Amino acid sequence: MDQLWSPWRAAYVTDEHRHASSECFLCSAADQTSNDEEWLVAARFDASIVVVNRFPYNAGHVLIAPLQHEGNLAVLPEEHAIELMKVTRIVVRALEDELRPHGVNIGVNMGSAAGAGVPNHLHIHCVPRWSGDTNFMPVLAETKVISELLPEMRHRLASAIARVRQQ
């Protein structure tokens, strides 16, 4: 039998990531301006941040979050909500340029009942998708194969986002 090794998922599977700290990881990533590599920050904007998801559904899965710790889109200041959409457009263009997906899932899960893993800090998921990217592994083995290391993906996406911003 072949084995797939992905030890970085252990914290997620065992739910340790939720109990390791009471701090919001999005706020921590935003606050740690000197170490974007460690926090997987791909880009910073005036009122928002782009972070490569540590527990991705697919390669290139990113989270776009306001710097403000707020879980409700309706409460977020209008200019911050507008920036989130502008950043989402930049991220989609960067994903398309760098990864060449066939499509991109974009979504917000607002509140625990809606599936938000971080219900108190709003974030937009951008997940690149390719035709045929679903195979037997998630169905039979409850395992998703991610083919690139997260730090490498962060570097690629940070460069791609920077290129899009210069256009």
Nearest C-alpha neighbor of 100 from the set 62, 63, 129: 129
Dihedral over Cα of 153, 158, 163, 167: its sign = positive
Query: Which one of the listed residues 69, 123, 125, 155 is annotated catalytic?
Result: 123
Strand partners, 71: none
Catalytic: 19? no
69/75 Cα distance (integer angstroms): 11
Q: Which residues are catalytic?
A: 123
